[in-house]
Amino acid sequence: MGILNVTPDSFSDGGLLRDAEAAVERGLALAADGADIIDVGGESTRPGAEPVPAEEEIRRVIPVVDGLRKHSKVLISVDTTKSQVARRALDAGADIINDVSALRFDPDLAGVIAEARAGLVLMNMKGTPRTMQAAPFYEDLLAEVRGFLESRLREAVSAGIAAESVLLDPGIGFGKRLEHNLTLINRLDVFADLGRPLVLGTSRKSFIGKILNAPLQERLEGSIASAVLGVVRGAHVLRVHDVREVGRAIRVAEAIRDEEPEPDSKGHVRYVS
Ligand code: 8Y4
């Protein structure tokens, strides 16, 4: 899943139409680099970010979904928590809603997704983007995140969304400290029995910056390392900026992981993880 930000801070050169055209070009380049899904996002979810009105999010996102749909069959996901944005995006040909609120912010979102028979990513976040990084605390991190995802999956199914259309995501960086992020990546296996594909978003995030003491532009190696570990631990979809580089690393990692193991002299095979 390639990240396509359409917030003004990330893209704008002033003109609305030219912004949208540049974003479509960027999305097509992500697809050419091997992305199976393009994740279009018009609302900044940075810690403390102000909410964006639905009309503004629609102005940013819909022309880009339109343009991508015209030029490519790539799966399109739209990063939104708002039913009005989702409805317009799905009408324009989007396939998946990537909802960082996991259906907690807009009571009409689940119905819109059910009606369209669209895909849905349910992500864990403690609190809201405004509050999530204020001293996040967990009694039992893995049990809490797993329980959250299980209950949000039930909520989606109650609203008429097929379980088979849902993907789950532990929400790296959303109301988590460094150690929480590392534990969630390392213990992705605890989410396997929820029976749904797992999405992992580590690309360029601040936990990498903290480990490497590196600014945003110098986090590629850390992004690749975390993506590879994530896949080894069971991630199915990686939300990334650097599609070509991460994709090539994952191909090598998967070839190694999937090679037939050579038994020892007693005929035994054991992986030490
Ligand atoms: C540099 C670049 C530093 C990006 C921070 C960031 C996820 C997500 C985001 C995720 C799913 C972000 C919309 C935060 N993260 N959706 N969205 N999973 N499903 N920050 O992990 O990329 S936005």
pLDDT at 11 over 60: no
Residue range 244-273: mean pLDDT, rounded = 92
In the chain, the number of structural domains is 1
Decide if 269 is inside a domain.
no
Between 131 and 126, the higher pLDDT residue: 126
270: in domain: no
Q: Is the pLDDT of residue 273 over 70?
A: no
Q: Is residue 263 part of a domain?
A: no
Say if 22 falls within a structural domain.
yes
| d(C-alpha 250, C-alpha 168), whole Å | 20
Range of the domain at 108: 2-258
pLDDT exceeds cutoff 70 at 245: yes
The whole-number average pLDDT for the span 247-259 is 97
Please check the confidence at residue 10 and state whether its pLDDT lies above 60: no
Mean pLDDT, rounded, for 38-57: 88
Which ranges in 3-120 belong to alpha helices (H)?
Answer: 8-11, 16-32, 54-71, 83-91, 109-116
Q: Is 67 part of a structural domain of the chain?
A: yes
In a domain, 246, yes or no: yes
Protein residue with least CA distance to atom 12, ligand 1: 205
Residues 188 and 192: their CA atoms lie apart, in Å, by: 7
* pLDDT number for residue 172: 97
Residue whose CB lies within 8 A of the most ligand 1 atoms, among 39, 99, 100, 211, for a mutation test:
100
**DSSP helix/strand/coil, 232:** helix
pLDDT at 255 over 70: yes
CATH of the domain at 79: 3.20.20.20
Residue 266 is assigned to a structural domain of this protein: no
pLDDT digits (tens, 9 = 90+) for 75-123: 999 999 999 999 999 999 999 999 999 999 999 999 999 999 999 999 9
Helix (H) or strand (E) holding 147: helix 141-158
Q: Name which residue sits closest to atom 13 of ligand 1, judged by CA.
A: 79
Least confident interval from 40-49, 177-186, 210-219: 40-49
Distance CA 169, CA 177 (A): 17
35 within a domain of the structure (yes/no): yes
Tell whether ligand 1 has an atom less than 6 A from the beta carbon of residue 172.
yes
pLDDT of residue 263: 93
